[in-house]
Amino acid sequence: DIQMTQSPSSLSASVGDRVTITCQASQDISNYLNWYQQKPGKAPKLLIYDASNLETGVPSRFSGSGSGTDFTFTISSLQPEDIATYFCQQYPNLPYTFGQGTKLEI
Amino acid sequence: QLRLQESGPGLVKPSETLSLTCTVSGGSVISSSYYWGWVRQSPGRGLEWIGNVYYSGSTYFSPSLKSRVTISLDTSKNRFSLNLTSVTAADTAVYYCARVGYYGTQSFDIWGQGTMVTVSS
């Protein structure tokens, strides 16, 4: 299985801050990486697909980059509604695997 | 607007079979563009992919669960189902159904709300 390692596991930031989360794959996955946001008691929501493409309707303050084994997820200016846990996910290697999550707090 | 809704028992006894159904509304499960999948989430295991089913009936499972999992598609009722046999406390989790892209990006782009399943006697 491909292991996905996110860092940090938790992060405290202020409204307006630039926030960066990293995800490292245990082997080369090209750009086959997705990012999700999960709020408490809710299902994950797709934000970024193929490492850098913004899902329809997702605010432009969210962005992603990277390829190979190292990926970055960025919120350019943190908003109160961005408080959530963020996960990366690789494909198409089965089993799909997710990072352990980064909990973002204000 | 496509919606997915999980249903099934919230409590299952150890050694028994966990059975969940995901009903799809606002669209058809007969689509060559998507898989229909199951993911579970627990504090100890995080998000864990269980398996996918394609409209043709082809199925794909996580190797760690493959011996205990079946996923089936009921096109007449526009739903798909998960069966997990011989459950233990380790199978206690929130179970989500989701739509998964087939061509190109394989992202989980639409999710059900999730259903909590506890394994306990």
| pLDDT tens sequence across B68-115 | 999 999 999 999 999 999 999 999 999 999 999 988 889 999 999 999
CA distances from A60 to A12, A20, B63, B108 (A): 21, 15, 37, 20
Kindly give the parts of chain A with pLDDT less than 50.
none
CA angle, B104 as apex, B101 and B110 as ends, to 5°? Answer: 20
What's the token pair of residue B42? 């627990």
| Residue B44 pLDDT | 84
Q: Is B54 on the interface with A (CB under 8 A)?
A: no
pLDDT digits (tens, 9 = 90+) for B18-71: 999 999 999 999 999 999 999 999 988 899 999 999 999 999 999 999 999 999
Contact B46 A44 (CB under 8 A): no
| Residue B96 pLDDT | 98
> At a CB cut-off of 8 Å and minimum separation 6, what does A6 contact?
A21, A22, A23, A24, A86, A87, A88, A99, A100, A101, A102
Question: Looking at the partner chain, which of B62, B107, B113 has a beta carbon nearest the beta carbon of A49?
Answer: B107
CA angle, B84 as apex, A29 and B112 as ends, to 5°? Answer: 65
Question: Looking at the partner chain, which of A34, A43, A101 has a beta carbon nearest the beta carbon of B107?
Answer: A34
Residue of chain A with shortest Cα separation from B40: A43
Confirm if B22 and B114 have CB atoms less than 8 A apart: no
Residue of chain B with shortest Cα separation from A42: B113
What's the token pair of residue B76? 């007449």
List chain B residues with CB under 8 Å of A102. none
